[in-house]
Structures are given as structure tokens and as C-alpha cells.
Amino acid sequence: MQLIAQYFFDISIMEKAIPFLLRGLVTTLLIAVLVVVLGLSLGLALACLRSYQKRLPNLLILAFIDIFRSIPELVLLIVAYFALPEFGISMPGFVVVVLVLSLVMAAFTEEIFWSGITSVQRGQWEAGRSTGLNFTQVLFSIVLLQAVQMVIPPLTNKTISITKSTALASVISVSELLNQASSQQALYANPTPLTLAALLYLLIFLPFVIFSRFIEGRYAVKR
Amino acid sequence: MMVEKNVETPEPSGASPLLTITGLQKSFGTTPVLKGIDLTVMRGELVALIGPSGSGKSTLLRCINRLEEPSAGKVMLDGVEVTSAQADINQIRRHIGMVFQAFNLYPHLNAEANVTLALRKVLRKSRSEASAAARAALDRVGLKARYAAYPGELSGGQQQRVGIARAMALEPKLFLFDEPTSALDPELVSEVLNVMKDMKANHRTMVVVTHEMAFARDVADRVVFMDNGLIVESGTPDYIYGSSRNARLTEFLRSFKDRSGPR
């Protein structure tokens, strides 16, 4: 019992490590917010573009989402950070992680938004078109809102999972929460900072997870 | 960008044709559904389209505003060729109101917003103008107190009346009704039919696909019987329900009597 306290809950180490971890937490949150906002926006934009059913854009969208959904995020990060500089494209770790995770988020959410758009009944399109609205007007005034409403549960799910992927940034030396915790752990040769990091993740993401449950209930499709 | 002369509601004027359909054909893949339809609808006329399911009634209706693209033939509405490749289909559709079997109301918008949407986006009316026109249309279909109700809060009959108001508010030249009462509970059918009778009394031009034989007999100016992608018989209700000796029509009407009893 004492050993557990000493290795995982050493108060004096906690006190010394916490300023670093909080700094890391800010970076984690910043990455998470940017990735969610950019990823959702791009995913929605691609799904809208796809609904026009033009051959070339659709082919490009499908290629993009299939590639980014197939390759593990960690592999993408490492390739972007360590291999792209060989081709003269060198970006700071923070930019790489935001970019890569946003693209992955966009690829997954495009497919989610798209499934929402296709599950809106055909009669909605027909009713809109019969009153003289054009395709774009029907898409944005009638279909999109219903589509988004239908896919809120998978969207919140993906949002939660991508925010947790921010921890992958530690492997390309972005000083986010896990990265800070690892260096503190190395410094004190004690895993207490990791415990603290886990607690901080819980503290930040648990309310978010609970909040997303509230969103799902609030905007559930009324039938 | 409105063309001013097209905006006004047509005055009912005797016997000038509003809708002319010639040689209309439609195939789904290799299956022919419409095999050459010729039909003229006069201003202020109510034409009832009857016939067994699968006879092509709904497809004919949906070809008139090109929700289905006809495979061949021509549709003219008030001198404008609807089927022309150069036609501005959105401008034409605004003159053709459509009422659907499944209502197809927008579930995320209340009754008034269901009606104002096209008024604002297609007719470019201001918020207050659109609202006034929508409320007037909802009043005419007897929904004065339900402007703010969402479709999910309305009965089927009320929903369909919002559907009619949505079409009516655009003041179209022609109304298409695709089995407007088929999805309704029997006790709600009459409230919708009454609105349609009221429209007929106001000289609206209407093409109605229906299985309500009593409505067709009592209200229609002309009844058109379709079978197997063709117009088989056409005439006044008295002729169709009384004196026609067409074998397929008599058989169809007999099956109806068997199903729903004497009317």
C-alpha cells in the first residue's frame, strides 16, 4: 500500500510537476479544439460537396477519406513529421498534429455527415424542389439540418475519440499533457506525473463526455 | 429575378387550355410506365386521374413538373414548354404546386415556416410579406390557430392541409395532387377533401390522382381513367361512372365497389 502511494501518488512530486502538466494541458486542449472545429467543418463541407454527385470531386473525396480512414493516426503523424521534411516540407510538431488529426477527423466525419444526408427521405427533396427551390437551397434549408440531427450520436463519439488521440502528439515532441508527464516522470524516476496526467484527462474529458450525452438527448430527432 | 408577367395568378377564363401534354412517354430502365399520354387541362378545370395501382397515374403527375424526367413527349404550361432543355425548371415549378401522399412537410420547421420557405427563397419576399402570405394560406385551409405548430404535433389531416397551404401560397397556375388522402385515417379524409372542394370553387386548376371515387364523381369536371401506361377512357363523371361500357373501366370500378361498399 505504501509502495503504491510512493510510486503513483507522491504528493511532493505532484506539487513540483503540476505547473508543467497544466501547461501541457493547455496545449492538449488547444489541439483538441482546433482539430474538432477544423475536422468537423471540413467533413461537413466535403459531405455537402459530395451530395452534388459530380464525378471528379466525388472520386477525389472518396480517395481522401478512404486513405485517411485506413492509415493509423500514429503512422500519419510520424510520416508527416519525420518523412515530409525529406521532401522539403518541414512543419513544427504542433502544426503537424493539428493538420493530421484534422484531416483524419474530416475523413471520418465526412462519412458520418454523408450517411445523414442520404438518410433524409427523398420526399423532403421532392417537396423542396416542387416549390421551385434549387438543389443548393434544398440541401442547406431543408436537408442538412435534419441530416446533422440524425448523426449527432456518431459525431460526438468520433469527437471524443479524436480528442483523446491528441496524446499521440507526444511522440513527435509536442509539449502537450502526456509529453510533459513523460518528461516529468523521467526527471523524478517516478510514475506519479503519469497518474496526475490521467487524472487531468479525466477531469477535462469526462465532463465533455457527459456533455455530449446531454447534446445527444437535446437534439435527438423528434418522431 | 422575377418575370413580372408570370407572377400573377391566372384569372379563370372559360375554355382556354392551361396544360397540354402530348405524346408523353416514360420508362424506368427498360420498363415502359407511360406509353404515350395526350391530355389537355383547361383553366379552372379539375381533372381526376383514376386507375389501378401501377397504371402510371403518379408517374404522369410527376412528369408534369419534371420530378421525373419524361423519356419522350412534350409538356406545355401556359405557353411555356416545361420539357424544353432550356427551360428554367425552378421558375416553372413555382407555378406548379404539388401536394404529396406522404405530406412531405419539413419536420424541423413549424407550419408557418414550412410555407414561408419557398416564398422567401424563390419569390424573394421579405420576412413580413412571406409571413403574411403564409398565414393567409394557412387561414384558407382552416389552420388559423396552428401557425407555430410543428408537423409532429399535427394530425395527418392538418399536416396535409399545411402541405396544401405550402403549395397555395406560391399562387401557382396549376395544382398537382398525388393521392392526397391515401395516407390519412378515414375520419380525416373529409377535412382535406373539403379544402380541395373550396379550391375548386375558387376556380383553381387541379389535376388529382385519387382513389376517392365519390370525390371524383361529385367534384371533378372530367375523369381520366388510366390503365397500363395509357389513358383508356376519359369524360364527364356522369359518363365515366354511368354510361361508359369500357371493359377495363367497368372492371376497375366494380373492384372498387367490392372493396369499399356502395357509396
Residues A147-156 pLDDT 10s: 999 999 899 9
The tens digit of pLDDT for each residue in B123-149 reads: 999 999 999 999 999 999 999 989 999
Chains A–B, number of C-beta pairs less than 8 Å apart = 69
Beta strand pairing call for B80-81 and B72-77: antiparallel
CB contact under 8 A, A141 and B166: no
The tens digit of pLDDT for each residue in A93-124 reads: 899 999 999 999 999 999 999 999 999 999 99
State how far the Cα of A64 lies from the Cα of A58, in Å rounded to an integer: 10
Mutate to test the interface with A, among B2, B67, B91, B170 (most CBs of A within 10 A): B67
Number of Cβ within 10 Å of residue B229's Cβ equals 22
User: pTM for this structure?
Assistant: 0.86
CA B260 vs. chain centroid, Å, equals: 24
CB contact under 8 A, B90 and A133: yes
Mutate to test the interface with A, among B6, B93, B123 (most CBs of A within 10 A): B93
Q: What is the DSSP track for A41-60?
A: HHHHHHHHHHHT--HHHHHH
State how far the Cα of A151 lies from the Cα of A46, in Å rounded to an integer: 16
Arithmetic mean of pLDDT, B156-161: 96
Mutate to test the interface with B, among A130, A141, A152 (most CBs of B within 10 A): A130
Mutate to test the interface with B, among A119, A122, A131, A137 (most CBs of B within 10 A): A131
The pairs formed by B5-14 with CB atoms below 8 angstroms and a separation of 24 or more are B6/B91, B6/B95, B7/B123, B7/B171, B8/B171, B9/B171, B9/B173, B10/B43, B10/B78, B10/B173, B10/B205, B12/B43, B12/B44, B12/B203, B13/B43, B13/B44, B14/B42, B14/B43
Q: How far is B43 from chain A (nearest CA, A)?
A: 20
State how far the Cα of A158 lies from the Cα of B141, in Å rounded to an integer: 46
With vertex at residue B193, the alpha carbon angle to CA B191 and CA B197, rounded to the nearest 5 degrees, is 115
Model confidence at A6: pLDDT above 90: no
A18-218 CATH pick, 1.10.3720.10, 1.10.760.10, 1.20.1250.20, 3.40.50.11540: 1.10.3720.10
pLDDT attached to residue B42: 96
Of A76, A89, A81, A35, whose CA–CA distance to A173 is shortest? A81
CB contact under 8 A, B106 and A127: yes
Nearest to B117 among A123, A141, A222 (CB): A141
> Please, how many CA atoms are within 13 Å of residue A191, restricted to the half-sphere of its CB?
8
Q: To which H or E segment does residue B60 belong?
A: helix B57-64
C-alpha gyration radius of chain A: 21
Nearest to A132 among B90, B104, B150 (CB): B90
State how far the Cα of A31 lies from the Cα of B233, in Å rounded to an integer: 71
State how far the Cα of A34 lies from the Cα of A191, in Å rounded to an integer: 30
Beta bridge partners of residue B72, listed in sequence order:
B25
Residues of chain A in contact with residue B172, where contact means CB-CB under 8 angstroms, are none
For B42, the 3-state DSSP assignment is strand
Cβ partners under 8 Å of residue A117, min gap 6: A47, A48, A51, A139, A143, A144, A147
Residues of chain A in contact with residue B166, where contact means CB-CB under 8 angstroms, are 127, 131
Residue in the block written with cell 424542389: A129
pLDDT attached to residue B204: 96
pLDDT attached to residue B2: 42
CB B38 within 8 A of CB B23: yes
Q: How far is B93 from chain A (nearest CA, A)?
A: 5
Model confidence at B13: pLDDT above 70: no
pLDDT attached to residue B10: 47
Per-residue pLDDT band for A170 (boundaries 50, 70, 90) equals: confident
C-alpha separations of B146 from A150, B111, B113, B143, B231 in Å:
26, 7, 12, 5, 40
Arithmetic mean of pLDDT, B230-244: 94
State how far the Cα of A127 lies from the Cα of B108, in Å rounded to an integer: 14
CA A23 vs. chain centroid, Å, equals: 20
With vertex at residue B42, the alpha carbon angle to CA A131 and CA B98, rounded to the nearest 5 degrees, is 20
Beta strand pairing call for B222-227 and B46-50: parallel
Residues of chain A in contact with residue B102, where contact means CB-CB under 8 angstroms, are 121, 123
Cβ partners under 8 Å of residue A55, min gap 6: none
Domain ranges of chain A: 18-218
* Helices and strands in chain A: count of H runs, count of E runs: 11, 0
Domain ranges of chain B: 107-167
Q: How far is B184 from chain A (nearest CA, A)?
A: 17
pLDDT attached to residue A95: 94
Nearest to B118 among A131, A145, A146 (CB): A131
Residues of chain A in contact with residue B106, where contact means CB-CB under 8 angstroms, are 124, 127-128, 142, 146
Nearest to A146 among B104, B108, B118 (CB): B108
CA B245 vs. chain centroid, Å, equals: 28
B230 burial type by CB count under 10 A (0-12 exposed, 13-18 middle, 19+ buried)? middle
Residues of chain A in contact with residue B120, where contact means CB-CB under 8 angstroms, are none
Task: List the single residue in B with minimal CA-CA distance to A131.
Answer: B94
Instruction: Return the sign of the alpha-carbon dihedral for residues B188, B194, B196, B197.
Output: positive
Grid coordinates belonging to B115: 410555407
Residues of A (144-163) whose Cβ lies below 8 Å from B: 145-146, 149
pLDDT attached to residue A128: 97
Q: How far is A166 from chain B (nearest CA, A)?
A: 35
Per-residue pLDDT band for B8 (boundaries 50, 70, 90) equals: very low
Task: List the single residue in B with minimal CA-CA distance to A125.
Answer: B104
Task: List the single residue in B with minimal CA-CA distance to A146.
Answer: B108
Q: Which residues of B touch A (CB under 8 A)?
A: 65, 67, 90-91, 93-94, 96-98, 100, 102, 104-108, 117-118, 121-122, 150, 152, 163, 166-167, 170
CB B158 within 8 A of CB B189: no
Task: List the single residue in B with minimal CA-CA distance to A142.
Answer: B106
Per-residue pLDDT band for B3 (boundaries 50, 70, 90) equals: very low
Q: Is B229 left (phi over 0), alpha (psi -120 to 50) or beta?
A: left
CB contact under 8 A, A130 and B150: no
CB B209 within 8 A of CB B54: no
**Does A83 contact B at CB distance below 8 Å?**
no
CB B164 within 8 A of CB B194: no
